[in-house]
Structure 1
Amino acid sequence: MTAWQGDREIALQGSKQRTMFAALLFQRGQVVSDLRLGELLWGDRPPATASAQIHTYASRLRKQLAPAVTIRRHHPGYLLQVCHGHLDLELFESRVRFGHSALRLGGYEESVNWFRSALRLWHGPALSNVTEHLIQIERPRLEEARLTALSSLIDAELALGRHARLIPELVDLVIQHPLQERFRAQLMMALDQEGCREEALSVYQEGRRLLAEELGVDPSPTLRSVYQALLSGESPKVAVPTGAEAS
């Protein structure tokens, strides 16, 4: 969790101050109550001086982040407003939307460029140096957004026939996220396009076993459709997500 003024990093002091800044940013112009801030800063045991400490963090943030960021007291909490284009998360989401739009229209090269541009905004794990209370609530959503953008980038690259260079990356992604069926389906398609159909079928069987053992479920229709296409001797096509699935 970092803030920058031009090329200079603004030194936000301590995990509590960073947590308050992040909590206000996530609400994007909505009031975050003192009660909610207290839960994110200290969990279910805020100190007796919680309100005073929150006030101190807000004052320090105002001084450090002005004029790009405005923090106002708005009962029962605080409200943050940031100039448009100054928040990486907003830029990421905007570029991902453009990427999905290009992907749906068949503009695969343009889509690749948008997704790559979005993913370059990530610098390591989301929400470093904040409290565990905030990490537990917000990091899964952010990580899911990153993985969705990455898998959409891979869809576009597969559509461009770049399967050979994608295989090592997809192997690593399946190892890191063994229950992520979309990466597994993409690896199967890449292997098939490279002429390794038997290996692709083995990737499916491994995924089916893991899903049954870990979650007690069968493979999704998407993963099954790729498998059935391979069994039929067909080359499965990239299924471009639409609507909420791509958001």
Structure 2
Amino acid sequence: MVKFRILGPVGAWFGNVEIQLGGAKQRTILAALLLADGWVVSDVDLSEILWGKNPPSTYQAQIYTYASRLRGHLGEESRIVRRGQGYSLERGDAYFDLQKFEEFSRAGNTAAQEGHTGRAAEKFRAALDLWTGPTLTAVTERLVDNERSRIELARTDVLERRIDADLLLGRHQALIGELSQLVSVHPLRESFRAKLMIALYRSDRQGEAFAVYREGRSLLRDQLGVDPGPALRNAYQEILTDDLPRALPSSSGLLAGRSG
């Protein structure tokens, strides 16, 4: 079975053997067709993501050559088809990591909604484990600019939901290191900071939780000129009034109402 991956370096595999696709332009066409999910991508759109606003006069011939080479690599299981003034990819039963990520994410959301917190954490973790590096590596910058942020936002949402599930399961001490790193990388993302405060509080480190809040408040005021939003304020108030349970039951609304 062919396997397609874009959650890291873009590529294709027959089993565990990577198909040698060549340079960035062929990988860009493959990624664009995968992301189109069976819809036709026009020559004009392919040209823009390959060369920008000033394509060569022979752009259609070059795209045809790249598509033909990809066909030769993929064989019969997945087909690149010429349709009108563009191309589509018929994946068939081929594995596609982004599709698998979305399946795991949906399964995690369903489990969370049904109160199966352990299963939700497992599915969210499986979705995140599909990443092998930054999304859409080894393609043109134009495709990265068009698509990476959307996919990375979906990953961050699942990451937050997985952390919420782990908090519900009482894994607060194990989360402190991960959350500390996330806050360091995303110092203005209040949801990560609020979760770190909760993990510290449940680990009997209330003073550090308040310090995390004060640091975030200062950064928001100094860099953005705003006060903390609801996620950070609520976490602070619940810790201040000792109104946050140390161990939440699996039926808690944290996953649905405080995912950041």
The partner residue of 1:118 within 103, 112, 127 is 127
Match of 2:182 among 167, 173, 189: 173
CA distance in 1, matches of 2:94, 2:188: 35
Corresponding residue of 2:256: 241
Q: Which amino acid aligns with 2:187?
A: P
> For residues 192 and 107 of structure 1, what CA distance do their matches in structure 2 show?
24
Q: Are 1:192 and 2:201 counterparts?
A: yes
Shift in Å at residue 197 of structure 1? Answer: 1.5
Superposed displacement of residue 85, structure 1:
5.4
**1:215 CA displacement:** 3.3
After TM superposition, give the deviation of residue 76 of structure 1 in Å: 2.3
What is the alpha-carbon distance in structure 2 between the residues aligned to residue 65 and residue 181 of structure 1? 45
CA distance in 2 between partners of 1:30 and 1:167 (Å): 43
> Partner residue of 1:149?
158
Read off the aligned partner of 2:204 and give its amino acid letter. G
Q: Which amino acid aligns with 1:240?
A: L
User: Are 1:133 and 2:148 an aligned pair?
Assistant: no
Distance 2:244 2:192 in 1: 17
Shift in alpha-carbon separation, 1:149–1:190, aligned structure 2, 3 A: same
Q: How much does 1:175 deviate?
A: 0.6
- The separation in 1 between residues aligned to 2:209 and 2:185, in whole angstroms, is 18
For the residue of structure 1 that corresponds to 2:192, the secondary structure is helix
Deviation at 1:189, TM superposition (A): 0.5
Task: Tell me which residue corresponds to 2:3.
Answer: none
Cα distance in structure 1, aligned partners of 2:73 and 2:229: 49
Unaligned runs of 5+ in 2: 1-9
Within the candidate set 99, 103, 125, 2:108 is matched to 99
- 2:51 is the alignment partner of 1:42: yes
- Contact conserved, 1:85 with 1:91, CA < 8 A, in 2? no
Q: Once structures 1 and 2 are overlaid, which stretch shifts more, 229-238 or 98-107?
A: 229-238
Q: Secondary structure at the match of 2:95?
A: coil
Count matched residues.
244
Which whole-Å CA distance do the structure 2 matches of 1:195 and 1:118 have between them? Answer: 31
Q: In terms of mean alpha carbon deviation, does 23-32 or 84-93 score higher? A: 84-93
- SS where residue 182 of structure 1 aligns? helix
Letter in 2 for 1:50: Y
Q: How big is the alpha-carbon RMSD for the aligned residues of Structure 1 and Structure 2?
A: 1.8
For residue 146 of structure 1, report the CA deviation from its aligned partner.
Answer: 1.5
* In structure 2, C-alpha distance between the alignment counterparts of 1:230 and 1:19, rounded to whole Å: 49
**8 Å CA contact retained: 1:40, 1:134:** yes
Q: 1:68 to 1:213 in 2, by over 3 A?
A: farther
Answer yes or no: is the 8 Å Cα contact 2:168–2:254 preserved in 1. no
CA–CA distance in 1 between the matches of 2:113 and 2:79? 38
The verdict on how the C-alpha distance between 1:39 and 1:212 changes in structure 2, with shifts beyond 3 A counting, is farther
Within 5 Å, which residues of 2 pair with 1:51-70? 51-70=60-79
Deviations 1:89-132 (A, max 9, x none): 00001101111111222211111111121111110111111011
| Secondary structure in structure 1 of the residue aligned to 2:13 | strand
Q: Percent identity?
A: 48
| 1:29-51 Cα shifts (integer Å, max 9, x gaps) | 11111111111111111111111
User: Is the Cα–Cα contact under 8 Å of residues 116 and 153 in structure 1 kept in the other structure?
Assistant: yes
Task: Say which of 221, 230, 234 aligns to 2:239.
Answer: 230
| CA shift digits 1:157-187 (9 cap, x unpaired) | 1101010111011101111111222211110
Q: 1:213 to 1:39 in 2, by over 3 A?
A: farther
State the distance in 1 between where 2:107 and 2:94 align.
16
Letter of the aligned partner of 1:47 in structure 2?
P
With CA pairs under 8 Å and 6+ residues apart, which has the higher RCO, 1 or 2? 2
* Aligned residue number for residue 77 of structure 1: 86
User: What TM-score, normalized by structure 2, do the two folds share?
Assistant: 0.88
Q: Distance in 1 between matches of 2:98 and 2:203?
A: 36
Distance in 2, matches of 1:37 and 1:184, equals 40
Following the alignment from structure 2 to structure 1, what is the Cα–Cα distance between the partners of residues 83 and 226? 47
